[in-house]
Amino acid sequence: MTDAAALLDFSKTTFFDFFGPLNDAANMEAYAAVAFTSQKILSELIESNSEFYFAMLADEIVGYLKLNFNNTQTEFHDANAMEIERIYVSRNHHKKNIGKNLLNFAVNVAFQRQLKYIWLGVWEHNTNAIGFYSHNGFEVFSSHEFTLGDDLQTDLLMKRVL
């Protein structure tokens, strides 16, 4: 439970640090009440087709990666693909190549499993992330709606063919 509690705390803190200033507080809290619960994190951790990888510094989580395969992908459910559902890096460790290292790790996982492509969703207003993924070989191929509280937002879907 300690690992799940640490993951939950890190996820929620990182999400609020980045997206909180850009969104309505009530919508953030409404989303967090569903997305960041102990039960949800535990169910994600035990899901056999999802994998978590952590960036650690002196026993502290400074970033993590969540990969989804097969039917755990939030869309598509393609056996030849892998979804990067999350790359989170703590605010204090931005610009230290942790996100890049996590992304490179994910690409290596996909190559080892001989997958055809990697895909992910990124908020249309997150220009830094869009630039990061574009610079690393991802291209926008579609979009979907994402609900944050009662705010309907658009995520761009990006793909990197391997």
- Encode pLDDT of 45-80 as tens digits: 999 999 999 999 998 999 999 999 999 999 989 999
Pairing type for strands 81-89 and 117-123 reads parallel
The pLDDT, as a whole number, for residue 1 is 41
The pLDDT, as a whole number, for residue 2 is 55
The pLDDT, as a whole number, for residue 85 is 97
The pLDDT, as a whole number, for residue 97 is 96
The pLDDT, as a whole number, for residue 3 is 84
Instruction: Report phi then psi at 71, rounded to 5.
Output: -75, -5
| Domains of the chain (ranges, CATH numbers) | 2-161 (3.40.630.30)
Q: E strands, the chain, where?
A: 50-57, 60-69, 81-89, 117-123, 139-148, 151-161
The pLDDT, as a whole number, for residue 80 is 98
What's the whole-number mean pLDDT along residues 31-35? 96
Q: Does residue 2 or residue 147 have the better pLDDT?
A: 147
pLDDT tens for 105-117 read: 999 999 999 999 9
The CA distances from residue 101 to 28, 56, 89, 94, in Å, are 28, 12, 11, 12
pLDDT tens for 115-154 read: 999 999 999 999 999 999 999 999 999 999 999 999 999 9
Report, as residue numbers or ranges, the catalytic residues. 133
